[in-house]
């Protein structure tokens, strides 16, 4: 993850392993244009493909291509879920 990103702060780490079942992804040919428009790639997989994107000027916009919700449990939500709920409560 990109140091200083919202995702890195949520995980309190620069690297995580998550379940990934997606056959879709960001076409690398469009990454520069997407980032110039404000959608920042903050997480990459082992093949340097975008798996986390964020909007810096949004109260909470973190999008993933992995299934973070599969790790949530009653009383122990996934860090992204907990961060979203926290942001919604502000």
Q: Largest Cα–Cα distance in the chain?
A: 41
Locate all alpha helices (DSSP H) within 1-90, ordered by sequence: 6-11, 31-36, 79-88
pLDDT, tens digit, 9 for 90 and up, residues 25-51: 889 999 999 999 999 999 998 888 899
The overall average pLDDT reported for the chain is 90
Q: According to the 3-state scheme, what is the secondary structure of 68-85?
A: HHHHCECCECCHHHHHHH
Which residues contact residue 8 at a Cβ distance below 8 angstroms, ignoring those fewer than 6 apart?
1, 2, 14, 42
Which residues are paired to 88 by β-bridges? none
Asked whether the beta carbons of 42 and 6 are under 8 A apart, the reply is: yes
């Amino acid at each position: 993850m990109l140091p200083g990103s919202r995702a890195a702060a949520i995980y309190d780490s620069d690297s995580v392993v998550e379940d990934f079942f997606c056959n879709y992804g960001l076409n690398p040919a469009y990454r520069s244009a997407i980032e110039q428009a404000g959608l920042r790639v903050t997480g990459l997989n082992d093949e340097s493909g975008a798996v986390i994107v964020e909007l810096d000027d949004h109260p909470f916009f973190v999008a993933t291509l992995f299934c973070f919700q599969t790790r949530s449990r009653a009383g122990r939500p996934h860090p992204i879920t907990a961060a979203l709920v926290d942001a919604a409560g502000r």
